[in-house]
Amino acid sequence: MEAADLSHHTSRRFNEDLERVRSKVLAMGGLVEEQLAGALNALIDGDSQLGQAIAKKDYQVNGMEVSIDEECSRILATRAPAAGDLRMIVATIKTITDLERIGDECEKIALIAARLANDERPADHYREVKHLGRITRTMVHQALDAFARLDAELAITTARSDRVVDEEYEAIQRQSITFMMEDPRSIRRALDIMWVVRAMERIGDHAKNVCEYVIYMVHGKDVRHTSLERVEQEIRSRNARP
């Protein structure tokens, strides 16, 4: 299955339906990206108003999930898509679930950010958190780019960077434990920060899931719970064959 095949279809209306769903998914993705950026900015700049505003906006993400879900069901019922189109619909239904969860994690981060804004800022100005935040944001962005371009290569490289997120998460965890042992008064804040980085680690996992759906959509191969090396090998060998 070549990527370009997905955009050609005998029925123009059907094609438009699919394109509309894809655009809606990506619009939802754009909103989630903005939510994530806003939540992280609220935390790092200590802006409690922004944090509250972001948490309040999560309902928009949920609303988009419901509307895309309905549209997908309608297409399944009325058009009975097959092959690549069917895979696209299935992947879409799964993708929006993960995007919605990313939205929930953003809400969580925003609420904690709003609470932490009233406290004293840590000495390191959340340097580690900022770094992890940049990695997760890039991951979400690239996962959505891969979805837009049907780019399995990008999906694989992005899925691989989930490992970096996990490592960073571990590092911050260790660091927080040191802080807590040094100064018990910082335990409350350190615990809150743990929730934030935990949320980011989950966001990385969800972004990785989206990447896996992209691979499934393009190559028709379910790669969940398989090691990335094997996935890559298989795809390479399939592409090598004429």
Partner 1 sequence: MSLSLWWWLAARVSAALVVGFLAGLPFGYPAIGVAVVAVAVLVRMLYLLRSTQRWLRGFNNAAPPDAGGAWGELIGLVARLQRRKQYHKRRLMRLLRELRRSTAAIPDGVVVLNPQGEILWFNRMAARLLHLRARTDVGLRIENLVRQPEFIRYMRSGEYTLPVVVSATIDKDLFLQIHLVPYGDGQSLMLVRDVTRAQRLEAMRKDFVANASHELRSPLTVIAGYLESLGQDPSLDPALAGPVAEMRRQSTRMTSIIEDLLSLSRLEAGDGAAERTPIDVVGLIELLHRDLGARLAQGTRVQVDITSTVRLLGDEAQIHSAFANLVDNAAKYTPQGGVITLRWSSDATGALFSVQDTGIGIGPEHIPRLTERFYRVDPGRSRATGGSGLGLAIVKHVLQRHGATLEITSSEGHGSTFSCHFPIDRLVTESREA
What is the x/- site pattern for partner 1, positions 152-191, by CB under 8 A? ----------------------------------------
Question: Binding of partner 1 at residue 22 (CB under 8 A)?
Answer: yes
Question: Binding of partner 1 at residue 206 (CB under 8 A)?
Answer: no
Question: Binding of partner 1 at residue 67 (CB under 8 A)?
Answer: no
Which segments within the chain are labelled E, that is strand? Answer: none
Closest CA to 1 of 231, 238, 229: 238
Which tokens sit at 190? Answer: 């350190």
Question: Binding of partner 1 at residue 100 (CB under 8 A)?
Answer: no
DSSP class of residue 121 equals P
Which member of 29, 81, 103, 204 binds partner 1 (CB under 8 A)? 29
Beta-carbon-side half-sphere exposure of residue 149 (alpha carbons within 13 Å): 10
Question: Binding of partner 1 at residue 103 (CB under 8 A)?
Answer: no
Question: Binding of partner 1 at residue 198 (CB under 8 A)?
Answer: no
Question: Binding of partner 1 at residue 151 (CB under 8 A)?
Answer: yes
Question: Binding of partner 1 at residue 27 (CB under 8 A)?
Answer: yes
Task: Determine contact, residues 134/36, Cβ cutoff 8 Å.
Answer: no
Pick 41 or 157: Cβ nearer partner 1: 41
Question: Binding of partner 1 at residue 30 (CB under 8 A)?
Answer: yes
Closest separation in Å from C-beta 236 to partner 1: 19
Cβ contacts of 138 within 8 Å, gap of 6 or more: 161
Closest separation in Å from C-beta 137 to partner 1: 6
Question: Binding of partner 1 at residue 34 (CB under 8 A)?
Answer: yes
Which tokens sit at 150? Answer: 């049907």
Question: Binding of partner 1 at residue 1 (CB under 8 A)?
Answer: no
Closest separation in Å from C-beta 3 to partner 1: 8
Q: Tell me the DSSP string of 29-63.
A: HHHHHHHHHHHHHHHHHT-HHHHHHHHHTHHHHHH
Pick 34 or 192: Cβ nearer partner 1: 34
3-state DSSP assignment of residue 148: helix
Pick 31 or 190: Cβ nearer partner 1: 31
Taking the C-alpha atoms of residue 95 and residue 103, their distance in angstroms, rounded to an integer, is: 12
Pick 36 or 190: Cβ nearer partner 1: 36
SS (HEC) of 4-21: HHHHCCCCHHHHHHHHHH
Residue type, 81: P
Taking the C-alpha atoms of residue 160 and residue 96, their distance in angstroms, rounded to an integer, is: 21
The binding site for partner 1 (CB under 8 A) comprises 7, 19, 22-23, 26-27, 29-31, 33-34, 37, 41, 134, 137-138, 141, 144-145, 148-149, 151
